[in-house]
Structure formats: C-alpha cells, structure tokens
Amino acid sequence: MITQTRETQFSFSGEDTSYLTHSLHPYPAKFPPQLPKKILEDYAIKGQTVLDPFCGSGTTLIEARIFGANAIGVDVNGLSVLLSKVKATPLTEQQFSIVQAFILKIEKEISKWKSENRPQIKIKEIEGQEHWFQNNVSEEITFLLNEISKQTDNDIQNFLKIVLSSIIVRVSNQDSDTRFAAIEKNVINGYTLEAFCKKAKEYNSRMAEFSELVHYSTELQVYNADSRNMDFIKDNSIDIIITSPPYANTYDYYLYHKFRKRWLDLDVKFAQYNEIGSRREYSSLKEKKEKWNEDLIKCFAEMQRVLKPNHFAFIVIGDSVIKKELIKIEKEISDFAPKIGFKVNEILSSDLSKHSRIFNPSYAQKGKKEHLIILEKI
C-alpha cells in the first residue's frame, strides 16, 4: 500500500454509538464503536488477539469479543480498567437473576431512606466529602457500597460498582461530568437509591444484549499499567492493535473520575502522575512539546515490540496545541514511526472544526484535525 494522506470522515455521525454495553457509564472522548468493528471485519481473523494500550471505556475490547477475537486492554486509570472489564464481560442467566434480586432489595429499602427516621449508618469518608456531597447522599452511597460488598461473585460486584459509579457525579455537588465546579443541587432523601436502581435496570438490559452476542471462546485481559512499559505482553504476540492515545493538552482523565475512584477505593495518584498528554502536564506544569513526543515514541515502541511482523496498528489521534504551537500529529508520527520499525501505510484525516469526539468544544478549533493512522510493523 502506498503511503498517503486523504481527507475523509470516520466519526460515523448520525449512527447509534450507544448500542449494547457501549452506553454503560459516562466517559469522555470515546471513539465510535463502528470504527473498531469495521477494522476488525476488514483486517482481523476470528481467534486472533487484539490489543488496545489505551483502552479507556473498553470500546475496542467489546467489539473484539463480539467479533470473535481475544482482547487485551491496558490503561493507567483504575476506573477505566474496571469499566472495561465490566463492559466486555458477559453475565450468565444466574448472574442476571442475582442482579435483579439485588435491585429489588434496594427498591424495597427506598421508602425507609425517604422517611424522616432514616436508618443510621457510619458514612464512608473520602477526601473533599463535605464540599462535594450532601450528607444524605453520602449515607446512601455508603449503604449501597456496603450492600454491594456482600456479593461474593466478583463479576456481579464489579457490575454493581460501575452502576453506582455512573451516578456519582449526578448526585454530587459537581455541576456536571464536563464542568468541575460545585453547585447546590438539593438532592432529596432516597434519590440516590432511586437513581441507582433505574440505572441498574438499564445496564442489566444492555448487558443481556451483549451477553447474547459475545463469543464465549474468547479471552479478556485488562491491565492497570503504563503503556510505555508493557513488559507483561510478549514480543510478537499481538495480531492487531486498535487504539486512541490521549490528545495532548486536552484533558485530565484522572480529574474526570476523581470522586468515583475515591468512593470505589481506586488509586487516584497512579493515573494522575502517569497520564501522558494531560492538561496538567502542558498547561499547569508547562511541559514542552518534546516531552509529548518522547512519551508517544515510548508507547509506539512498545506497540511495535508486541505486534507481530507485517501486522497492523490502527491509531486514532488528533492534533494538539502546546504553548500556542499547533502540533500536526500525523507529521510527528510519520517522522518517528520508521525509526522504531513501523511503516506508515495510510493516514485518513478529518477536520475537527466540523466534528469532534472531544466533549470540550474549545478543542475542535480551526486548523486541528483528527487522524486514523495505519501503521505496519516491518
């Protein structure tokens, strides 16, 4: 294939991107599931192994298991790891029955928590609690966590944790998932439990649909690790890579999920200090463009190491601005890829001023483009 760059659209605008378990839990900057689905259909063979070293919310992993491929995900964010496991792990009929019984049990408790004589409970303490959570909300979250901890099946426990995590911001004093500011919401007694039950029913239905389509012969592995060092994956063992590295100086993923991780006892610091391309690095700490390049090269070198010869890596990534300089990422990757054993086969580009998968509209400013870069290991 001749290396070329051409303008196209790969956002799948207008198509349903929330089918099956893809809609489980809020998550910023997800790429559309139709993209890995199409790549797998065109380039993969059932039974092969797919890697996403920035697995985020598990989009690639879900599509891999539906297609019939083994899936490996890596992410520095502990919540991403938990979320990816839950979204790409089917439940059995027996497990669905247990989840339904759990929902029914919580629904029966709601009237007690709405009354003036609410149950007394020792609240789980987290950092910043008084500022970000009403006392009645903290009580109900603690109650749910206590009930979830009684589940002995890890898959069920993880599923219920993700349900709870998905409503944390809604019942907190945080304005929204996309705005980190405290406002007064006046969450009434019992609302947290009602929101949990409603979301649990929705997610249970989505999971049932996914569980009917997944290939049970496939395996799933998800690691809470840094993609600059994937020594737990053997050389030349991966058949295809489909991933989307963070867009530099665009977002702090650890901040987006900070309170969720505190309630679920997930490590906040590991993601905070190991995220590559975060706004913290390039806006607050004033890192230079060269730091971004160094981190990317380390990640791509690891991808090259684990990928089988003559196999492909599909990278979705966007241009960025660091210290007021527009970084044309396709040029950067085209420059360093051959030096670490990759051939750039094709680059598909789309104007981000016309569409953006990033929730922050300021990211999609004039001149920025999003790219699908197809690399071949040589």
What's the chain's length in residues?
Answer: 378
Domain 5-90+223-258+267-377 has CATH 3.40.50.150: yes
**Among candidate residues 156, 149, 24, 141, the one with its CA nearest the CA of residue 99:** 156
DSSP secondary structure letters along 104-123: HHHHHHHHHHHSSSPPP-PP
Q: Domain extents for the chain? A: 5-90+223-258+267-377, 93-213
pLDDT at 307: 98
User: Which parts of the chain register pLDDT below 50?
Assistant: 1-3, 355-364
Tokens at residue 115, please?
């009354």
Q: What is the DSSP string of 74-100?
A: EES-HHHHHHHHHHTS---HHHHHHHH
Q: How far apart are CA 72 and CA 170, in angstroms?
A: 31
In the prediction, which pLDDT does 8 show? 54
If you ran DSSP here, which 8-state letter would residue 208 be given?
H
Nearest to 85 by CA among 33, 14, 35, 24: 24
d(C-alpha 55, C-alpha 62), whole Å = 10
Q: Is the dihedral of CA 46, 48, 49, 55 positive or negative?
A: negative
**Structure tokens belonging to residue 337:** 């890829």
The predicted structure's pLDDT at residue 352: 63
Question: Which has the closest alpha carbon to 40: 60, 10, 22, 12?
Answer: 60
**Residue 183: phi, psi to the nearest 5?**
-135, 165
Question: What pLDDT is attached to residue 249?
Answer: 60
pLDDT digits (tens, 9 = 90+) for 105-131: 999 999 999 998 999 999 999 999 999
Separation of alpha carbons 64 and 50, rounded Å:
7
